[in-house]
A and B are shown apart, each in its own frame.
Chain A
Amino acid sequence: MSLPTVQVTGVEKSFLRTRALNGVTFDAGAGITGLLGPNGAGKTTLLRMIATVLAPDAGDLRLLGWNPGKADERLSIRRRLGYMPQEPGFHRSFTAFEFVDYVAILKEMVERRARHEEVRRVLSLVGLEAQSGRKIRALSGGMRRRVALAQALLGDPDLLVLDEPTAGLDPEQRLRFREIVSERSADRTVVLSTHQTEDVAALCPRVVVMLDGRELFDGTPAELIDVARGRVWLAGERAAGAHLSWRTGDGRHRNIGDAPEGADLVEPSLEDGYLLLVGRRALEEEEAA
């Protein structure tokens, strides 16, 4: 069995007075791994490390078998890496094609014809072929995200790092995005972050739940659901022993926590498992989203 593509061991990172990562450990191999967690959990910091944009203060990081702390190995990683940042920035007056072409040059594609072919290829992968001549500032938010995804796909990378790729997309766009990513994941490693449990449920055979710079859970979605088994029930109102409780559409309350005797237990969802682990803060953020 080959080494996992991404090996994170006890990684720590602080910014000024904030501890962003508090000793995170996990592995990721071929297929899609989802990082789930509320804002401030450290997902973006961790992804930036996996994208070799940031170095850890402590701990060990191995990507594609290489150590990003060493200059030449870091270069080797970057040659096989695609990164979609959380807030991609674009040059104001570039067209979609021009921008992806620019990144392609940064990815060392020097020969113009071949490079333009590759740019067209990734733009059509994300369905933006017809828009390639339009200026980015004239594109909708969902289309801009797709441009950002397209540049990450340049060169067919072995390791794809996507930070909140579905943020701000409507359900149809999210579905389409999931199709693009899952098609690409068979023998590649994809690590993505989200705070939408549906994305994880639909896409990720592996889930890592993060909170306050630590991983709380590392396993399959089914296992995450199991965390909440026997701990989710419906009642007429907010129950006393519930960690969390909210009104559902039909007027009853869904409660998560230690169920009292004879409670009306229900089949747990992925979201229930997540919320149980992450608590009240996550619920408030979901409601705000």
Chain B
Amino acid sequence: MTTTWHADETLLAGYADGAIDDARASSLEAHLLACAPCRAALSTHADPAALTRMWAEVTEGVDAPRPGVIERALRAVGVPDHAARLLSATPSLRLSWLIAEAIALGQSAGHANVVHGGPREDVAMFGFLVLAALLPVLGVAFAYGPGVDPAYEMGIAAPMRSGRLLLIRAVAVLGASILFAGLGALAVPWRGWEAVAWLLPSLGLTLATLALSTAIRPRVAASAVATGWVVFAIALQMGSGDRFAAFRSGAQLVFVTVIVVSAWVLARRRETFEEGAFR
């Protein structure tokens, strides 16, 4: 292959028009792979409109944020792309967090499964139920707020309602938790409905955390609710002698009340999310 030969204008024009024969075209193509000046000369025959069009699409493809696994999964189930973007920026919806949650619940349920029939099964089951109700509260604590969301202040100053953002994230966090805990319940099928006795408590605790967040910082609210829950579950157990007292119908009714009251408080006080940090 020579380096001093270059294609002349006629040849290039002919190639650009698709008018020259295959053998010459092939030769030219092989030459172009190695010769920058000829490539540059050929460019003058290109269609500028087509190039502009293609470049616009390339920038879109390059700039467009690369959706992570979570974001793609969300889009796949029909979440609009802007909401998916907002969710993907949530610390407690990151893959690492979700995996940790899945492992925690998996181990807990798995443990109950393994000690099935033995004296420790009830304790293991209790642990699983308490944990399953508790995890979404932690998730909410790390979904939003100063110290957790780096762009918190810019978010407050932006028109989009921060309460709405928090709600979207809380729903996603809760959904993920329920999914994992539900799967965990499958590991203990002989317990029947007992294995999902965490459902109402988890809803209640999450809503209570959100409602409290209208008055105090989310992480403080979550700590308070989480601690209160554990204390409640253990106290009821010791007081009544029934290990699962916190999950019987009486307690479930309590949680229904908590859900209703929290939802009401949230609705009444939702404006507080639009105001800045409580400092």
A: residues with CB less than 8 A from B are: 15, 48, 51-55, 71, 74-75, 78-79, 81, 83, 85, 88-92, 94-95, 97-99, 101-103, 105-108, 110, 112-113, 115-116, 119-120, 132-133, 151, 161
Residues in A with CB closer than 8 Å to B165 are 106
Nearest-neighbour CB distance to chain A for B136, whole angstroms, equals: 22
| Docked CA distance A107–B62 (Å) | 23
Tell me the interface secondary structure of chain B in the complex: helix
- Judging by beta carbons under 8 Å apart, are A98 and B65 in contact? yes
Known pairs A53-B277, A54-B276, A95-B65. 17 more at Cβ < 8 A?
Answer: A54-B277, A55-B276, A71-B274, A81-B157, A83-B157, A90-B150, A91-B150, A97-B63, A102-B89, A103-B158, A105-B85, A106-B158, A106-B159, A112-B81, A113-B60, A116-B60, A116-B63
- Judging by beta carbons under 8 Å apart, are A88 and B275 in contact? no
| Docked CA distance A52–B275 (Å) | 8
Residues in A with CB closer than 8 Å to B152 are 89
Closest partner residue, chain B, to A97 (CB atom): B63
B29 close to A (CB within 8 Å) = no
Residues in B with CB closer than 8 Å to A119 are 63
- Judging by beta carbons under 8 Å apart, are B63 and A102 in contact? no
Closest partner residue, chain A, to B149 (CB atom): A89
B9 close to A (CB within 8 Å) = no
B151 close to A (CB within 8 Å) = yes
- Judging by beta carbons under 8 Å apart, are B275 and A133 in contact? no
B86 close to A (CB within 8 Å) = yes
B2 close to A (CB within 8 Å) = no
- Encode B156-185 as 1/0 by CB contact (under 8 A) with A: 111110000100000000000000000000
Residues in B with CB closer than 8 Å to A91 are 89, 150-151
B: residues with CB less than 8 A from A are: 59-60, 62-65, 80-82, 85-86, 89, 149-160, 165, 271, 274-277, 279
| Docked CA distance A145–B221 (Å) | 33
Closest partner residue, chain B, to A106 (CB atom): B158
- Judging by beta carbons under 8 Å apart, are A133 and B82 in contact? no
Assuming the A-B contacts A97-B63, A105-B82, A119-B63, are A75 and B153 also in contact, with contact meaning beta carbons closer than 8 angstroms in the complex?
Answer: no
| Docked CA distance A166–B62 (Å) | 30
Nearest-neighbour CB distance to chain B for A190, whole angstroms, equals: 15
- Judging by beta carbons under 8 Å apart, are A78 and B151 in contact? no
- Judging by beta carbons under 8 Å apart, are A97 and B154 in contact? no
Assuming the A-B contacts A89-B150, A91-B151, A116-B63, are A52 and B157 also in contact, with contact meaning beta carbons closer than 8 angstroms in the complex?
Answer: yes
| Docked CA distance A90–B60 (Å) | 22
| Docked CA distance A112–B65 (Å) | 11
Residues in B with CB closer than 8 Å to A113 are 60
Nearest-neighbour CB distance to chain A for B217, whole angstroms, equals: 14
Assuming the A-B contacts A95-B65, A97-B65, A116-B60, are A51 and B86 also in contact, with contact meaning beta carbons closer than 8 angstroms in the complex?
Answer: no
- Judging by beta carbons under 8 Å apart, are A108 and B159 in contact? yes
- Judging by beta carbons under 8 Å apart, are A120 and B154 in contact? no
- Judging by beta carbons under 8 Å apart, are B151 and A89 in contact? yes
Residues in B with CB closer than 8 Å to A79 are 159
| Docked CA distance A189–B277 (Å) | 25
- Judging by beta carbons under 8 Å apart, are A101 and B65 in contact? yes
Residues in B with CB closer than 8 Å to A51 are 153, 157
